A and B are shown apart, each in its own frame.
Chain A
Amino acid sequence: MKLMVNGEAHEVAATTLAELLAALDYEGDWLATAVNSDLVHKANRAEFQLSDGDRIEILSPMQGG
């Protein structure tokens, strides 16, 4: 399935958001995820089914003003 992850195209076998994070080597409890511009809570990642063409954002804390 083809996905856009943080603006980059990826071809992945993962079917859930949790699997995608693991496949791309994302780990840790400091990440926030959104699919198609909506937040997906950490607790829902394992059951969140991805679809071809989904846009995923994976964010983490950064400096801000």
Chain B
Amino acid sequence: MFDLLGTALSSRLLLGTAQYPSPAILADAVSASGTSVVTVSLRREMAGGRAGEEFWSLIRSLGTRVLPNTAGCHSVKEAVTTAKMAREVFGTSWIKLEVIGNHDTLQPDVFGLVEAARILSEDGFSVFPYTTDDLVVAERLLEAGCKVLMPWCAPIGSALGPVNIPALRSMRAQFPGVPLIVDAGLGRPSHAATVMELGFDAVLLNTAVAKAADPVGMARAFGKAVEAGREAFCSGMLEPREVAMPSTPTIGRAVFS
């Protein structure tokens, strides 16, 4: 069990719900991944439309927790209002806080992020900030009231995987007691396993599963990779060395010449 802000979760994989070929495949992928938290969003509803109702009904049928996001928000005000609207609709004070600073890279505006995180934390939200691997920003987010941090490992949707492992390692070392969730940039199960081996508490991903040729199979693969990475971290891995070491004992070896 994974304790996240006082909630016991059965999986360390958090899964996005966007870009799947169909609602049925989304539902099957969620089930195959073993996740217990899915991310959701809010968008304009058409007059007389019921798209939101249909989607919300599907999500509720999955039996997972939801983590609403503020995707697409570029200002503190937008993000704060979207978070409040999400709390009302989804009935949770958890919010994945995104304040986007750059249209092309989707890099977070970390200054706006800290400001919005403070406002929302004071208003009773549990803020999951989508941030960079910058340690000073991380400090500021914690001071602003965040109890969890979600650094990217590469740009959203890039599938590059962890591009700066030393920075992630340093973040893990700097904040040993803070739940750290790698959010964004994971492309393959091995990427997820890698960051879990570094001691990250969980991963959040979407595109790598939704855009796979077989999203259900990929969801299952990521679920296994996250478990494997976690178990490896907990089991204590060997440090690499540059010389050979025989794995078979040499004592008692027969001598034939």
- Interface residues, chain A, with chain B CB atoms under 8 Å away: 5-7, 24-26, 28, 30-34, 37-39, 41-42, 57-65
Given A61-B89, A63-B17: A39 and B84 interface contact (C-beta under 8 Å) = yes
Contacts of B241 in A (CB 8 A): none
Contacts of A6 in B (CB 8 A): 44-45
Tell me which of B1-9, B46-54, B134-142, B173-181 binds A: B46-54
Q: How far is the CA of A24 from the CA of B46 in the complex (A)?
A: 9
Q: How far is the CA of A26 from the CA of B19 in the complex (A)?
A: 26
Task: Pick the residue among A39, A62, A64 that contacts B51 (CB under 8 A).
Answer: A62
Task: Pick the residue among B19, B45, B56, B69 that contacts A58 (CB under 8 A).
Answer: B45
- Interface residues, chain B, with chain A CB atoms under 8 Å away: 16-20, 26, 39-45, 47-53, 55-56, 59, 68-69, 71, 77-78, 81-82, 84-86, 88-90, 156, 206-207
Whether the pair B81, A30 counts as a contact (CB closer than 8 A) is no
For B41, give the chain A residue with the smallest CB separation: A64
14 A-B pairs (CB sep. < 8 Å): A6-B44, A28-B53, A31-B52, A31-B89, A58-B44, A59-B42, A59-B52, A61-B53, A61-B59, A62-B51, A62-B52, A64-B39, A64-B40, A64-B42
Task: Pick the residue among B18, B19, B43, B81 that contacts A60 (CB under 8 A).
Answer: B43
